[in-house]
Amino acid sequence: MATPMLIKKNRLMLILSLAAVLLNVIVFIVTKVFDPFQHSMGMHDSGLPINASLVAGQIAICLLPVLSTIFAVYLYVRSKGSELLPWMNTLTLTFSSMGIISGGGGAVEFHFSIFMVIAATAYYENTRLIVMMTSLFAIQHVLGFLFVPRLVFGAESYSFLMLLLHAGFLLLTSGATYLQINSKKQITEQLEQEKKSKEEEIVELLEQVRSLAGQIGSTSDIVSGKSEQNVKTNQEMRQAFTEVAHGLGDQANAIEQMENNLQSIHQSIEDALTSSVEMKENAGQTEQAVANSYDKLQNLHLHMLQITAAINMVVERMTSLKQSSDRAKSMIHLIQKVADQTNLLALNASIEATRAGEHGKGISVVAEEIRKLANQSRDAATDIQTSMEAIQRESELTSAQIQKGQSVIKLSEAEVDAFAAEFDQVKETVAQCLAFIHTLNKRMHAIKSDSVNVTGEIAQISTVIEQGTAAMEELAHMSARQIESAMLVDGEVKRLTMLNHSLQERFIA
């Protein structure tokens, strides 16, 4: 089925085809009569003789677009929207470009007409037409290169590289046109889909409008029926707002009393915090005193250890002294025994000296002296023994006293150790008390901060309640105005019902 767009395109393309045919004929006639393009034929064999077969070929190619145009006009007259007409117009443009090239002597300038007709054919937005035109031009160039190069290139022989260049640019132009047509088709299809979607949305919207009109009608009936109930409700709300306003006033008074009580509590917290700070300072001093006492106790314990060591050493010395006294006593007995024997020997020597007479006088004198020395040694040993016995008695008494002192020192050392252990517990207890006091002080500061915050929040609540009271009073006034507005709304609802009926009649029609 022919579309209006296809009819318009066929008409314009038929005009362009006629113009291309006319241009083809003009180029052919001008070239044959005036030959004005000889100056541009330097690269072609312009000096070659023109034979009858070449002219016949040029005429045949020149007449091809004329014949196709006649058939295209016939199709247009029969049916302006004929689907065959785009193909005939494309053939006409293709043959016209071929005729211009051959009629112009195959000059390079006339090969540009290929791009002209490709651009014109792109108006149809049909890639198959572009493929057909490109194929025909490719066949023209290949056949011309192989069989009649003068008809296509204006020379008896033509470079294969130049042929490839012609073919390359032809394919590039056709390919670009092909891609543009496909892209435009995709865009057009997308736009059509969007248009169709919008139309469907509009139809759906109209259905929704009809549905909403029905809903508005039923809703307006309900609203109209409940208008009196709304007025009554507004009156009840007004009374409730008034009662709430009175209740908020009572709450404001209670909050004010609570705020006064919180001020008293806050003052008590301030006093407690001051006491806590003083307690913290005293605890610090106590901790320092305990630390000093602990150091002194450690020094006392050290001194007790030193005294114990000294007493142990004295005990050892006294034991050694007793042993030395015992040894000295033994030696004294030995000395007395030796003195007695010496005295006895001296007596025997005196007796023998007396017997010897004059010869024994010297021995007698010596024996007497030895006897005196022996007596003196025995007397001295006796004195030493007496002294040693006195020393031993004193040593035993001293040793007994030292042992009693050692027992007392050991008992004192044990008591000092026990007191040190108990003092460690006291020190730990004092440290725990100090930590508790620090924690208590921090908590008192936190309680003070919370008390300040609570006081501020109570003040804010009081402000909010005052604002709420004012708002309730304003709501009561607004409720009165709303009652008046409800009466007006009732009238507007009735008018809306009439408009809804009018809207439904319009859409139904």
Angle at 130 between CA 84 and CA 96, to 5 degrees: 75
The confidence score (pLDDT) of residue 493 equals: 72
b/e code 92-118 from CB counts within 10 Å (16+ = b):
bbbbbbbbbbbbbbbbbebbebbebbb
- The full length of the chain comes to 509
pTM metric for this prediction: 0.42
- Is domain 229-508 given the CATH code 3.40.50.300 in the classification? no
| DSSP-assigned letter for residue 341 | H
The confidence score (pLDDT) of residue 136 equals: 97
Distances (CA, A) of 157 to 44, 103, 165, 168, 442: 9, 18, 16, 19, 111
Token pair for 163: 């042929």
The confidence score (pLDDT) of residue 38 equals: 56
The confidence score (pLDDT) of residue 102 equals: 92
Angle at 322 between CA 320 and CA 326, to 5 degrees: 115
The confidence score (pLDDT) of residue 146 equals: 93
Report the C-alpha gap between 179 and 260 in whole angstroms.
87
Q: Encode the chain (509 residues) as per-residue pLDDT tens digits.
A: 678 899 999 999 999 999 999 999 999 999 888 876 654 444 444 455 567 888 899 999 999 999 999 999 999 999 999 999 999 999 999 999 999 999 888 888 899 999 999 999 999 999 999 999 999 999 999 999 999 898 898 888 888 998 898 889 899 999 999 999 998 888 888 888 998 888 888 778 777 767 776 777 677 677 667 766 776 777 777 777 677 667 767 777 767 777 777 677 678 778 877 877 787 787 778 778 778 877 887 887 888 788 788 778 877 887 887 787 788 778 878 887 887 888 888 788 778 778 887 777 777 788 788 888 878 888 887 888 888 788 778 878 877 887 887 787 788 778 878 877 877 886 788 788 778 778 877 877 887 787 777 677 767 877 877 787 787 677 777 767 777 777 787 777 778 778 777 776 776 55
| Residue 179: HSE in the Cβ half-sphere, 13 Å Cα cutoff | 5
Angle at 470 between CA 481 and CA 246, to 5 degrees: 95
Distance from the Cα of residue 493 to its chain's centroid:
56
83: phi then psi, degrees, rounded to nearest 5: -75, -15
Q: What are the domain boundaries of the chain? A: 4-41+49-184, 229-508
Report the C-alpha gap between 106 and 137 in whole angstroms.
14
Contact 437, 287 (CB under 8 A): no
Token pair for 180: 């543009």
Token pair for 189: 């299809």
Report the C-alpha gap between 230 and 486 in whole angstroms.
7
Contact 21, 131 (CB under 8 A): no
* Residue among 74, 93, 75, 73 nearest 84 (CA): 75
Q: Return the number of other C-beta atoms located less than 10 Å from residue 90's C-beta.
A: 26
What percent of the chain stands above pLDDT 90? 24
The confidence score (pLDDT) of residue 448 equals: 75
* Residue among 443, 456, 448 nearest 266 (CA): 448
The confidence score (pLDDT) of residue 50 equals: 62
